């Protein structure tokens, strides 16, 4: 087969997008004007369920068209619906797509960013052949069922049980903070399969059907107002052994595959793009609007924030380039995640200084109270995907080579442990 040139690919993608999406106007970022358009800078979606359902349907429709046009999984193996193109084609596609208005694809972030790579690495051939095309076509949405009320940072202390019953497993327990569980079709779950083994050794991973009998999803309302997360209860849910990920009791390495991809996905936004957080125009125009354009301290602070986002962006780019060159995402992504949350926190502290009480008392003035959504969302960002403190531990131990935290019991049977110790 003749090699696909970059020009041919660009022509193909442009033809697809011309036929299926509207091209954006020529308005550029630098044209942003204080007081015009939306002032939304929230981190978490605050949509009601009906709107969310409509947005999901639109997202799925577009995703299916993209997949059917051969553009759904550019880098994946052809046997599972991919196209086996080098990573650069992914970037090319994203670059061209950014010039078009397409439905938000955030619904697929966890399924494709974390669950699908884990399925590819650890599932049976039949499950890969069944689920991967459906996930990349958007027919199925995936979620991550890891955290429990007593197991977050200390993930290896999880207690949801998986008991073998012939060709099936019976899962019973509770997960929490499951983003998107309410619209997901499949979930990657890590369960305790042998409490007689040390805590990292008696875990097993599965892909579970979120619509199976015994799965109950209950929304959790966050302080920003929306409900993006859920508690998920499992009562004797039956999962075929064919849907096991990796070997029995080897679930910790399955979880690590997902966690490394999670940090890579979160860290990929380290420049703060997408949400317009690093948008120096927005911050700069806000400063001028409130008469602080000539204030030396404010200017210095703004320049510092901008510089930090730029440094994070380039540091992160180096790490991503290594991943794209075929190396596994490593602890460097913890640095990217930590920089992102620190920079976001400093952005909101800066905005709060400029706005004063306007950030928490709604005067109806454009571009003021709306920043409160970002301010209230930051603590969630500092916790999701590994907390700031845990990131610092990882950097200390795996990047700087400092001694491990004392007290991590890797030898006693899990059932004999009284309290968990950090291990994520």
Ligand X SMILES: Cc1cc2nc3c(=O)[nH]c(=O)nc-3n(C[C@H](O)[C@H](O)[C@H](O)COP(=O)(O)OP(=O)(O)OC[C@H]3O[C@@H](n4cnc5c(N)ncnc54)[C@H](O)[C@@H]3O)c2cc1C
Question: Does 226 engage in binding with ligand X (CB under 6 A)?
Answer: no
Choose which of 107, 146, 169, 234 interacts with ligand X (CB under 6 A): 146
Choose which of 153, 242, 249, 310 interacts with ligand X (CB under 6 A): 153
Closest approach, Cβ 147 to ligand X, in A, equals 3
Structure tokens at 378: 């930051």
177: helix, strand or coil: coil
Q: What are the residue numbers of the active site?
A: 262
Closer residue to ligand X (CB): 59 or 143: 143
**How far apart are the C-alpha atoms of 390 and 341, rounded to whole Å?**
13
Closest approach, Cβ 258 to ligand X, in A, equals 9
Choose which of 42, 144, 343, 373 interacts with ligand X (CB under 6 A): 144
Choose which of 302, 335, 355, 384 interacts with ligand X (CB under 6 A): 384
Closest approach, Cβ 265 to ligand X, in A, equals 12
Closest approach, Cβ 162 to ligand X, in A, equals 16
Question: Does 230 engage in binding with ligand X (CB under 6 A)?
Answer: no
CA 418 to chain centre: 32
Question: Does 348 engage in binding with ligand X (CB under 6 A)?
Answer: no
Question: Does 310 engage in binding with ligand X (CB under 6 A)?
Answer: no
Residue of 317, 316, 305 whose CA lies nearest to 277: 305
Closest approach, Cβ 230 to ligand X, in A, equals 9
Pairing of β 215-220 and β 229-240: antiparallel
**How far apart are the C-alpha atoms of 159 and 195, rounded to whole Å?**
9
Start-end of H helices in 222-331? 251-267, 280-289, 296-324
Question: Does 380 engage in binding with ligand X (CB under 6 A)?
Answer: yes
Taking CB under 6 A as the binding criterion, the range among 80-88, 175-183, 294-302, 361-369 that sits at the site for ligand X is 175-183
Which residue bears the tokens 């999984």? Answer: 73
* Close Cβ partners of 5 (under 8 Å, ≥ 6 residues apart): none
Question: Does 343 engage in binding with ligand X (CB under 6 A)?
Answer: no
Start-end of H helices in 138-267? 251-267
Which letter, b or e, does each residue of 275-301 get, where b requires 16 or more Cβ atoms within 10 Å of its Cβ? Answer: eebbbeebbbbbbebbebeeeeebeeb
Taking CB under 6 A as the binding criterion, the range among 3-11, 19-27, 337-345, 386-394 that sits at the site for ligand X is 386-394
CB 308 within 8 A of CB 343: yes
* Close Cβ partners of 423 (under 8 Å, ≥ 6 residues apart): 153, 154, 155, 156, 157, 199, 200, 408
Question: Does 383 engage in binding with ligand X (CB under 6 A)?
Answer: yes
Positions in the binding site for ligand X (CB under 6 A): 110, 143-147, 152-154, 177-179, 229, 380, 383-384, 386-387, 389-390, 393, 405, 422
């Amino acid at each position: 087969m003749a090699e696909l040139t970059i020009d041919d690919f660009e022509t193909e993608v442009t033809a697809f997008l011309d036929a299926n999406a509207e091209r954006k106007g020529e308005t550029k970022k630098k044209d942003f004007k204080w007081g015009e358009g939306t002032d939304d800078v929230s981190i978490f979606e605050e949509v009601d369920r009906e709107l969310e359902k409509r947005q999901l349907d639109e997202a799925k429709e577009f995703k299916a068209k993209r997949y059917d046009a051969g553009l759904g999984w550019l880098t994946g193996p052809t046997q599972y619906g991919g196209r086996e193109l080098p990573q650069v084609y992914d970037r090319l596609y994203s670059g061209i797509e950014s010039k078009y208005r397409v439905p938000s694809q955030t619904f697929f972030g966890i399924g494709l960013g974390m669950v699908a790579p884990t399925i590819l690495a650890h599932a049976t051939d039949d499950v890969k052949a069944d689920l991967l095309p459906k996930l990349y076509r958007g027919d199925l949405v995936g979620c991550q069922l890891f955290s429990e009320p007593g197991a977050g940072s200390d993930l290896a202390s999880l207690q949801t049980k998986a008991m073998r019953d012939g060709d099936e497993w019976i899962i019973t327990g509770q997960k929490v903070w499951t983003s998107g569980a309410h619209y997901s079709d499949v979930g990657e779950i890590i369960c305790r399969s042998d409490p007689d083994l040390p805590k990292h050794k008696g875990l097993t991973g599965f892909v579970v059907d979120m619509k199976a009998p015994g799965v109950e999803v209950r929304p959790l309302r966050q302080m920003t107002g929306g409900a993006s997360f859920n508690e998920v209860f499992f009562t004797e849910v039956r999962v075929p052994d064919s849907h096991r990920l990796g070997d029995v009791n080897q679930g910790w390495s399955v979880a690590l595959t997902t966690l490394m991809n999670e940090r890579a996905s979160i860290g990929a936004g380290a420049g703060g793009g997408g949400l317009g957080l690093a948008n120096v125009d927005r911050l700069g125009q806000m400063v001028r609007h409130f008469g602080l354009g000539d204030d030396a301290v404010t200017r210095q602070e703004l320049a510092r924030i901008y510089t930090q986002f730029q440094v994070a962006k380039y540091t992160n780019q180096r790490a991503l380039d290594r991943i794209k060159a075929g190396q596994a995402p490593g602890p460097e992504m913890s640095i990217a995640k930590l920089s992102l949350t620190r920079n976001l926190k400093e952005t909101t502290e800066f905005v709060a200084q400029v706005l004063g009480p306007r950030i928490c008392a709604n005067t109806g003035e454009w571009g003021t109270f709306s920043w409160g959504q970002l301010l209230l969302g930051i603590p969630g960002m500092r916790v999701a995907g590994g907390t700031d403190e845990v990131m610092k531990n990882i950097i200390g131990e795996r990047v700087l080579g400092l001694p491990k935290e004392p007290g991590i019991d890797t030898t006693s049977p899990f059932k004999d442990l009284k309290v968990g110790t950090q291990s994520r």
